[in-house]
Chains A and B, each alone.
Chain A
Amino acid sequence: MDLTMLRSQFPALAQSNNGYPLCYLDTAATSQKPQQVIDAMNHYYHFDNANVHRAAHLLSARATTQYEAVRDKLCQFIQARRREEIIFTHGTTEAINIVANGLTSQLKLGDLILIDAAAHHANIVPWQELAKRTGAIIKPIPLTTDCRLDSAAFDTLLLEKPAIVALGHVSNVLGTVNPVSNLVAKAKQVGAITLVDGAQAIAHMSVDVQDIDCDFYVFSGHKMYGPTGIGVLYGRFALLDSLSPLMTGGEMIKTVSFSGTEFNQLPNRLEAGTPPIAEVIGLGAAIDFIDAQPKAQVSAAEQTLLIYLQDSLKALGDVVLYGAHSDNLGAVAFNLAAEHHQDVGILLDQQGIAVRCGHHCAMPLMQSLQLNGCCRASIGIYTNKADIDNFITAMQSVKELLL
């Protein structure tokens, strides 16, 4: 299959900026959307718009059928055991908040929560809040000097019998990949509840939650070619069912009276209020899009491009890369000599290059790398060699201006 045709399915990529063609290297922040996702949401609003689960009429039946079909698709997409293990959320952040909040009554004073030191804030702050509520203690799992999770340090920390282990699957800044199956297996041996944040993994690899064997796996639709405002919380049924709901009201109830309320069953119990229906349908279209691609070929092409990107930056000279390994996924973190990442970002923007510059919502990682920030170039299914070449040419101009 000719992968170059894929790009034409993403209408936003066909534009210029300042006379330069748009070079979108910010997929890790949010991916562009293929036409079929836009069409699916458009179609829903044109023809099927109705609230789900609560009306006897035809439109509601159509909306509900489509909405619930996406749950089945997701169940298959990540190999969950049953459809009730899939909860629709507004994104990765909400999904982690649902878990961290829902576990409040299960944690006690002095319990230990281990967090991946490369985690982004969404996988740190909800745990800090949980610790505040319960008196639990948080410890980071440190990184080695080559920016991988320190496996020996992790083993030592496990001797303290953590109650919760929160890991990233792929670092949003560095693109480094954690061996999550292995880490989860070790955490389970000491009885920890495990959560894997898959926000940066889901668009770049096949995810099998039974293989990873984690208790919770979370991700966002908008980073996998789907719409914003929709995310997924996968939870092992028994544990998911033990979470007290973060949000109450709407269809999460079974019966309500002023003497008391009985909550509904999963999945509805954790989906309070009217859900983002169009976004769920858009996410379904994104899964169809991903499923229609030749997975092995796409992965190989993305990996070739990522290595080309790393190598081209190295060849440019005066560029510092952080944790750049050939088995990384999706992203490269770098700085130009000692120049401020924001100066680099502004000058790249002048040339139509979209990258992210800053702390990337991972301040603790920046602290451990002793950086104020860095630039991150990230790729997706539509990125091609010309994007990388344009980016490198633009970096050359930035270098001439700054150095």
Chain B
Amino acid sequence: MSQQVQPTKQQFLTLALETDVSTTMQLFENAGNWQERYRQIMLLGKTLPKLQDELRNESAQVKGCESNAWLHHCEIEGKHYFVADSDARIVKGLIALLLIACNGKTSAEIALFDPNPYFKQLGLEGQLSPSRTNGLLALAKAIKSESE
């Protein structure tokens, strides 16, 4: 079987999310309405790089999303790094929200991360329901299981 293409170590390390969980919480608390929340989600999505076609491969694809979503993982010096993309803008933004909480963290830190209260505090708890086809639940599970 041919080896599926992986992002380089450099690509994993250069993912620079210029924000953290508390700043993001503040941002969403200040959002006055759903329009503003979703605008912020899409802006966060834009901070993730677009994956080249060869990295949009089958082995990286997260099942359970109506849109296509890809997640690559790499552990460097005890910390977990992710490179991810989606062809839907809101899903990509939701992935960014997950990565803000999990990227560059240790296994122990990621194990402690509970997406339910996180998205609830962001005012997005509805997006985590298993009936949704946005795949957020599947993505959260994938991030957690990759970093175990």
Contacts and interface: CB of A to CB of B under 8 A. Distances in A.
Interface string A338-365: 0110110011001100000110000000
A397 B88 contact: no
Interface in A94-142: none
Contact of B90 (A347, A351, A397): A347
A401 B66 contact: no
Contacts, number: 38
B91 interface: yes
Give the dominant DSSP class at B's interface: helix
Contacts of B127: 346
B105 interface: no
Interface stretch (B14-22, B34-42, B71-79): B34-42
> Which of A339, A397, A401, A402 has the most B CB atoms < 10 Å from its CB?
A401
B35 A346 contact: no
A342 B35 contact: no
Interface string A365-388: 000000011000000000000000
The number of chain B residues touching the other chain, given as a range, is: 10 to 19
Interface string B83-102: 00001111100000000000
B134 interface: yes
Nearest to A347: B38
A401 B68 CA distance: 21
Nearest to B34: A350
Contacts of B88: 340, 342-343
Contacts of A340: 67, 87-89
B47 interface: no
Contacts of A402: 89
B133 interface: yes
Given A18-B34, A358-B133, A397-B35, A373 B90 contact: no
Nearest to B127: A346
Contacts of B67: 340, 342
Nearest to B35: A401
Nearest to A17: B126
Interface in A22-51: none
Contacts of A357: 66
Given A342-B90, A346-B90, A373 B66 contact: yes
A333 to B, nearest CB: 16
13 contacts: A18-B34, A339-B89, A342-B91, A346-B90, A346-B127, A347-B38, A357-B66, A358-B66, A372-B68, A372-B87, A401-B38, A401-B39, A402-B89
Interface of B: 34-35, 38-39, 42, 66-68, 87-91, 127, 133-134
Closest 9 CB pairs of A and B: A340-B88, A342-B88, A350-B34, A342-B67, A343-B90, A342-B66, A346-B90, A343-B88, A343-B89
Given A346-B90, A401-B39, 13 more contacts: A339-B89, A340-B87, A340-B89, A342-B90, A343-B88, A343-B90, A346-B38, A346-B134, A347-B90, A357-B66, A372-B68, A373-B66, A397-B35
